[in-house]
Amino acid sequence: MSLKNQTINVKCEKIVFPGRSLCRCADGIALFTEGLLPGEAADVLVTKDKKSFREGFVKNITSASSERAEPLCPSFGRCGGCTFQNTGYENQIKYKQIYIEELLAGFGVKIGKILTSPEIWNYRNKMEFSFFNNDGRADLGLHQRGSFNRYVSVPPCFIADKGFLKIAEIIKNFANENNLLAYNNYAHEGFLRHLVLRKAQNNNQTLVNIVTAPGSFDFTTLVKELEEFAQSVYLTQNGRQSDAVVVDDFKLLYGAPLIVEKLNVGSKEYLFNISPFSFFQTNSKGTEVLYNEVLKVLNPSKADTLLDLYCGTGTIGISMAHNVKNVIGIEKVEQAINNAKENALLNGVKNAEFFAASAEEWVKENGAKFDLIIVDPPRTGLTNKVIDFLLASFAKKIVYVSCNPATLARDLSLLSAGGEYKIKAITPVDMFPQTYHVESVVLLEK
């Protein structure tokens, strides 16, 4: 008999990736929900009933865990930004360690102890807020969990850089004082769409990007208010119906065209330009932990040639450049490659070259040999073409940096199946406190 739309009492066995609570129904079928900690029992409304699993949402916790904590944010549970504020950071790390070990247990390698984030609150150096209509007034917020057109107001937000919230308040007040309407994603009417805030946290520089629908408005007064808090203020116009931040036109309203972040890797300081749309890791202090772990396991020599696939704006490759003979970086986004070349100049790195091409296109055309390879692919992981290239590469070491342990497990199975490469070390790195996300650094040796 189907249990859909029925409320049942279940007990949480454990938390599994991606941050879901695994429970077991009376008939033994697994039920997945969100927000329960191991050992907790709850009344759950079943929303999906399949042959092999069920899904539902928690209506009432009937037996709470001693590990449960009061969330710092009043929007926790509704906002899509955080998933783990219901327990302390030590427990978050424990749960992440467990599901990383479960996903990667089949490779016969002891998983290293997870490297923790130096900061667990207000660590995010980039936030993308949406404007929305809140009882006739323009408001700023984050998407409600699982919703396209419902939002949770900010402030507060306890993972965003503290300075972002002051800026958001200033812009929200300006919008309402000037009767500027928030954009409606259904009617495709209104003016204000998004507010994208970026900060070079180690260098205390902030970039503000106001995203609107096509149209004109004099933001001079607002810019003067923001000068105290920001080094750069941009205006971007987006006429597309998609809710994503897409650029039709943008201009610098105030300040420098870029902000500059500094990272300490291998006891050496590196500088990186951040433009309105360039990629940069969202946790500056955590990035230093991540890159130092990459350098540690790579252990390069001055005789090595390094390939940096999916190099983005060149941050990893440039951070390794002083320790190798030369670096080749590949990234499909041309603007990112331009940023990478600028970043190399900024750091006096003369032994790095960067090329705009997809990894798949480049490996198909290139037969060069490399001593070391770093891959840092998107969440979807590596394609078969790239895996075939890696297996035939003769590189003595491959370091795989992953933000998705599920696709990492799939790719490591393919890379290690034939015996060409052996997995030597796996180290999780927590870049995203209060959420289920976790990075991993994996060393494979020929």
- Which active-site residues does the annotation give? 403
- Characterise 150 by phi-psi region: left (phi > 0), alpha (psi -120 to 50), beta (else): beta
* Mode of pairing for the β-strands spanning 439-445 and 422-429: antiparallel
Q: Could you give the CA distance from residue 438 to residue 403 in angstroms, rounded to a whole number?
A: 6
Q: Could you give the CA distance from residue 144 to residue 192 in angstroms, rounded to a whole number?
A: 19
Q: Could you give the CA distance from residue 171 to residue 210 in angstroms, rounded to a whole number?
A: 9
Q: Which residue has the tokens 């949402």?
A: 57
Burial of 175: CB neighbours in 10 Å, binned 0-12, 13-18, 19+: buried
- CA dihedral of residues 151, 154, 157, 163 (deg, nearest 10): 140
Query: Burial code of 326-364, b = ≥16 C-beta within 10 A, e = fewer?
Result: bbbbbbebeebbebbbbbbebbebeebebebbbbeebbe
Q: Mapping DSSP to helix (H, G, I), strand (E, B) and coil, where does residue 320 land?
A: helix
Q: Could you give the CA distance from residue 214 to residue 183 in angstroms, rounded to a whole number?
A: 11
Q: Could you give the CA distance from residue 337 to residue 313 in angstroms, rounded to a whole number?
A: 6
Paired tokens of 428: 């999780």
Q: Nearest to residue 353, comparing CAs of 316, 317, 406, 390?
A: 317
Q: What is the CA radius of gyration of the chain?
A: 23
Q: Could you give the CA distance from residue 397 to residue 388 in angstroms, rounded to a whole number?
A: 15
Could you give the strand order of the β-sheet that contains 372-375, starting from the edge strand earlier in sequence? 352-356, 326-331, 305-309, 372-375, 397-402, 439-445, 422-429
For 95, 118, 369, 412, 442, the CA distances from 89, given in Å and listed in that order, are 10, 12, 43, 29, 24
Report whether 370 contacts 305 (CB < 8 A). yes
**Which residues make beta-bridge pairs with 265?**
268
Q: Could you give the CA distance from residue 441 to residue 445 in angstroms, rounded to a whole number?
A: 13
**Which residues make beta-bridge pairs with 400?**
375, 442
